[in-house]
Structure formats: structure tokens, C-alpha cells
Amino acid sequence: MSDPDLLALSAPLPGGGAAPLADHRGKVLLIVNTASQCGFTPQYAGLEALQRRHGPRGFSVLAFPCNQFGRQEPGDAAEIATFCTTKYDVTFPVFAKVEVNGGGADPIFRHLKHAAPGALGTEAIKWNFTKFLVGRDGRVAARFAPATAPEKLSAEIERLLDA
């Protein structure tokens, strides 16, 4: 069986329920597994800068908190939301905490990892703030390592927005 279309999947909401990714059809997306107690956490500022710069053209960051790496996202949904808004003034969607690896991996991340394997062809996500860039057509265009600063993605985002 082939992987489902990414935009046919739904993202779990912090208060329960789910939001269809189809709501973002036609947008360029940057899907990121995040954590609030990670060395890469300051990337929230860069992600928000991308959102503000490119959002009006049909771009959105989608954040998925994850506690699988060093237990760096221990908070509940309310704590995560408060952290994101008060510390980084985040305006992009922050979904419910998910797993990105293993048997309990969220279907969105299973799809992303299969469509864009990492270094040496491995699908596993190695750490927080792995980034997947998705074109307007819902196809995964690129995968970026946690150490890749969000501001380095602007040219690639603009290329997809212009496509």
C-alpha cells in the first residue's frame, strides 16, 4: 500500500480532535517537530520570522511539539501554547504533541520521512527541529536538519511560492 497523500491526513489539535491538512491546500508549508527546552528552541524566532515574511503569499509553518528527544518537551498543551506565544509571539499553528519515530509515529511524520529520507537514506528523525518543506501541491520538496537555521530556508520557500 502506498503512502496516503499528505494533504489527506489530519493534524491532532491540542484540545482534542484534528484539523485536516487539506485546510492548507495550495500553501507552501514548513512542517517542524519542535520542543521548548532544546538547544534549537530559539529557532522559534526564525520560524516566526518566516511566517510573517512569507505568510501573506501563501506560506505557513506547522509546528508539532515532540518529547521523544531528551524529554525536551515535557509540558502539556496549555504550557506549550503559553510558552510559544509569550516567549516567541508565535502566530503559526502549534498542534498537539506527537511522536515522530517508532510505532506510535504520527501519520504525518511517517509520510514526511518516507517522502524525504535523511542522510544516508535513513528515515528516522534524529532530533528536534527537523524541517520538511512542502510545495503547494502537497509534495515534500526538501528535508532540513535541526541545525539548519530557518532564515537559510527563505530562498527555497520563495522558489516554491513562485512555482
Distance, in Å, from the CA atom of 7 to the CA atom of 2, rounded to the nearest integer, reads 14
Query: Can you give the residue range of the structural domain that contains 87?
Result: 24-162
Match 503559526 to its residue by C-alpha cell. 92
pLDDT score, position 122: 86
- If pLDDT is split at 50, 70 and 90, which confidence band does 39 have? very high
Stated pTM of the model: 0.95
CA dihedral 100→122→62→77, nearest 10 degrees, is 20
Number of domains in the chain: 1
Residue 1 lies in a domain: no
Helix (H, G, I), strand (E, B) or coil at 97: coil
What's the pLDDT tens digit per position in 91-114? 999 999 999 999 999 999 999 999
Helix (H, G, I), strand (E, B) or coil at 20: strand
pLDDT score, position 121: 83
Helices (DSSP H) in 25-141: which residue ranges?
Answer: 43-54, 77-88, 107-115
Rounded to an integer, the average pLDDT of 21-41 is 96
Distance, in Å, from the CA atom of 26 to the CA atom of 81, rounded to the nearest integer, reads 26
- Would you say residue 38 has pLDDT above 50? yes
Q: Which of 62, 42, 53 is nearest to 146 (CA)?
A: 42
Residue 40 lies in a domain: yes
Find the CATH number of the domain harbouring 51: 3.40.30.10
Question: Choosing from 6, 11, 31, 38, which is the catalytic residue?
Answer: 38
Residue 129 lies in a domain: yes
Q: Is 84 a catalytic residue?
A: no
Which residues 6+ apart lie within 8 Å of 71 measured at CB?
none
- Would you say residue 2 has pLDDT above 80? no
Residue 11 lies in a domain: no
